[in-house]
Structure 1
Amino acid sequence: MVADSNSNKQSVIPCKVCGDRASGYHYGVTSCEGCKCTVIRLNRNRCQYCRFKKCLAVGMSRDSVRYGRVPKRSKSQDHDQRVSSTDNLQEQTALESKQLAIYDVILSISQAHHAHCAVTEDKMKNFTRKNATLVEKIECTDGALQFTDEQMEAQRLSMWCQLAKLITPSVHSVVEFAKRVPSFSELSQDDQLILIKAGFFEVWLTRMSRMFNRNENLVTFEDGSMIHKDELSVVFSVTFVSSLFDVSTSFNHLNLNDTEVGLFTGIVLATADRPGLSDSKGVEQIQDKLIEALKLQVSRNHSTEENLFASIIMKFPELRTLGHQHNELLKWYRVQWNRISLPPLFAEIYDIPKQEDVSQVPAAYTV
């Protein structure tokens, strides 16, 4: 009876990590089999970071949690080494702190991207797509069989304004995302604005890559409007729009998840050689942390794709080239600023004068 009573008491000892029934004394605390921090294929998608922090919080040995169970024959010897080797313990602690910091970056970016991107995988499931056009009716003189150059210019400007309305919601979401990139808000406000303005088109294109449909030659915008490739070619150029489809399609084929896309766009924002920056070194440090985080995330989620990270990195110069080309195409529109009425945020992001007060930054845009 006493033995049975003791057995019952032992059998209900809870795991200090998750509260489930403990299976024994593991790495310094009572815990269940699942909380011994061994990650296998079946449970690898669970949040290892949160469990790791909880394991340390309840008193598990850092060495055991990190490296696994120590063989019995060497426990005593290893214990003596750990006691006598303060330097090794400090190095391990520093490494753990660094890894936890990387996981914090990944978590912050993931939350920011999901909260401030309208084309995440989950949000796209509820999209209501609709055929749309950038073209507005052109008034022709009686008997005219073709448009004048002035009418064609007016139509092109009008189509660009319609496109601007479709893109404008992304401006606010990119600004809000940027605020939540770790250490980004510690930069001067001038540097933040420079980075957002210079990187906006590249970030927008990265996010929109999954919205380009090469088979149907359509781009679906945040409100579900589907615009044909030919109309975009009128606004910009045939060559440029073809490049947009090519780069977007190849990026989409990388099959990155939302968190990885968020990390990529964070790296795009934190580009240290943007003209006019006062703290390029600080920007570079932000980018280095994001690159390290992306590399870790990719290695965890795509362990069998050895060259994937290198393929991702190769997309940065492609995006940069398209960004330069886009800026060149905007020069003609900037000259025509007094003939058009653009959404204020869109005009501000591309430094296009506005007819009202060109010096005022919209409140919604303030970083």
Structure 2
Amino acid sequence: MSRDSVRYGRVPKRSREKGDDNRVTTSGAEPTETIFNEMQLATFEMIVTLSQAHYAHCSYTEEKTRGIMRKPAIFTSMDEYGSPQSDCSPTSVTADSLEQQKINMWQRFADFITPSISRVVEYAKRIPGFLELSQDDQLILIKSGFFEIWLVHVSKMFDPIDNTLTFSDGNFITRQQMELMFDHEFVSSIFNFMIGFNQLHLHDIEIGIFAAIALCCPDRYGVYDAKAIHRIEEKLYEAMKIQSARTRGFDSRYHENVVVKVPELRAIGIKHAEHLSWFRGNWTRLKLPPLFAEIFDIPKSEDELLLVAQ
């Protein structure tokens, strides 16, 4: 854990004590000043909470990814007896095998992503104000925002030299393999986002805040209380501004560069949702982890899973 996060774990108590002293000794303080100090403390505590949640539930922190042993992901097809056939590499693609290879790759890709789902759910519960939303709104935000949050987390594992993306267990997938699953345009948008996002050089704490911003979008289709979500979103943006100013000095242009990545990320999320229509049309041919099927609303025979605990 970084020094910043260690300091964050200690300061709120002192700040709270200082705030208590101020209320006793500065009875003549202006009400607006008191309100401002309380808002600052609330924002500071939000940063602490998000930092702790990020370190606890993200598999792609600086510490956790240090020293990962990379290995190429193996995508194998099965014959009628369930035995592995040849590796599903793009060089072996033919017109007859393309559809089956795409299915095999989707299934393996789902296996790689699924462990992050429960982690994102647990992280979301720690976002101040999130559990105060209706359970329906919580589910909508998690389901519609999961892929975007996962991209934020995994971005640091993108290698622009060999065009590979490495998962938390060390398996990596190539650009060609991803294009076989999706298409060239969509994969280009993902990699371009990752390049730009990595150029911001966000620290783990800032990534934790950014992920919360990505999740708490009041414009998600179907949400009931958009105003409540918007209030959380505003607080998260303020937290990002304060944290960025603390670590690198306030730079309005830098802050704007961070903010503009949000709509870019959401555009990718919308495109990903469109690709899921292929999933839903071929669900009878897929063997997906139940939690993966649940998060993306893909039909399955298993009972529905509850992502957010009562």
Higher Rg = 1
Q: Take 1:285 and 1:117, find their aligned partners in 2: how far apart are those partners? A: 25
Write out per-residue CA displacement over residues 119-155 of structure 1, whole angstroms, 9 at most, x where no aligned residue.
0011111423222233436769xxxx98454x32111
Matched, 1:239 2:239: no
Could you say what secondary structure the match of 1:248 adopts? helix
Q: Which amino acid aligns with 2:122?
A: E
Q: Take 2:49 and 2:272, find their aligned partners in 1: how far apart are those partners? A: 30
Question: Which of 302, 305, 308 is matched with 1:362 structurally?
Answer: 305
Question: Which of 127, 130, 138 is matched with 1:184 structurally?
Answer: 130
Question: Which of 23, 31, 34 is matched with 1:90 structurally?
Answer: 31
Which one has the bigger helix percentage? 2
Q: Take 1:135 and 1:243, find their aligned partners in 2: how far apart are those partners? A: 27
Please name the residue that 1:36 is paired with. none
Could you say what secondary structure the match of 1:307 adopts? helix
Aligned 1:43-122 pairs, distance under 5 A: 46-47=7-8, 49-56=12-19, 59=21, 86=28, 88-122=29-63
Question: Which of 165, 181, 185 is matched with 2:111 structurally?
Answer: 165
Question: Which of 200, 210, 213 is matched with 1:267 structurally?
Answer: 213
Q: Which has the higher contact order (CA 8 A, sep 6+)?
A: 2
Question: Which of 233, 236, 246 is matched with 1:290 structurally?
Answer: 236
Matched, 1:251 2:190: no
Question: Which of 315, 332, 345 is matched with 2:291 structurally?
Answer: 345
Contact 2:165 2:173 in 1 (8 A): yes
Q: Which amino acid aligns with 2:256?
A: A
Matched, 1:153 2:99: yes
Could you say what secondary structure the match of 1:136 adopts? strand
Q: Which amino acid aligns with 1:362?
A: L
Write out per-residue CA displacement over residues 18-38 of structure 1, whole angstroms, 9 at most, x where no aligned residue.
xxxxxxxxxxxxxxxxxxxxx
Matched, 1:130 2:58: no
Matched, 1:299 2:245: yes
Please name the residue that 2:176 is paired with. 230
Could you say what secondary structure the match of 2:33 adopts? helix
Write out per-residue CA displacement over residues 245-273 of structure 1, whole angstroms, 9 at most, x where no aligned residue.
11011101101111111111111111001
Contact 1:134 1:227 in 2 (8 A): no
Contact 1:117 1:173 in 2 (8 A): yes
Taking structure 1 as reference, are residues 146 and 49 closer, same or farther at Cα in structure 2, changes over 3 Å only?
Answer: closer
Q: Which runs of 5+ in 2 are unaligned?
A: 80-84, 87-91
Q: Take 1:46 and 1:198, find their aligned partners in 2: how far apart are those partners? A: 34
Q: Which amino acid aligns with 1:284?
A: H
Could you say what secondary structure the match of 1:219 adopts? strand
Q: Which runs of 5+ in 1 are unaligned?
A: 1-42, 65-81
Write out per-residue CA displacement over residues 103-133 of structure 1, whole angstroms, 9 at most, x where no aligned residue.
1110111011110100001111142322223
Please name the residue that 2:147 is paired with. 201
Taking structure 1 as reference, are residues 147 and 229 closer, same or farther at Cα in structure 2, changes over 3 Å only?
Answer: closer
Could you say what secondary structure the match of 1:334 adopts? helix
Taking structure 1 as reference, are residues 137 and 339 closer, same or farther at Cα in structure 2, changes over 3 Å only?
Answer: closer
- The percent identity for this pair of structures is 41
Could you say what secondary structure the match of 2:77 adopts? coil
Contact 1:134 1:231 in 2 (8 A): no
Aligned 1:23-42 pairs, distance under 5 A: none
Q: Take 1:90 and 1:146, find their aligned partners in 2: how far apart are those partners? A: 70
The 10-residue stretch of structure 1 (305-314 or 112-121) with the greater mean CA deviation from structure 2 = 305-314
Deviation at 1:317, TM superposition (A): 1.1
Q: Take 1:210 and 1:161, find their aligned partners in 2: how far apart are those partners? A: 23
Contact 2:138 2:308 in 1 (8 A): no
Deviation at 1:325, TM superposition (A): 1.0
Please name the residue that 1:74 is paired with. none
Deviation at 1:56, TM superposition (A): 4.6
Taking structure 1 as reference, are residues 91 and 147 closer, same or farther at Cα in structure 2, changes over 3 Å only?
Answer: closer
Deviation at 1:290, TM superposition (A): 0.7
Q: Which amino acid aligns with 2:257?
A: S
Contact 2:164 2:175 in 1 (8 A): yes
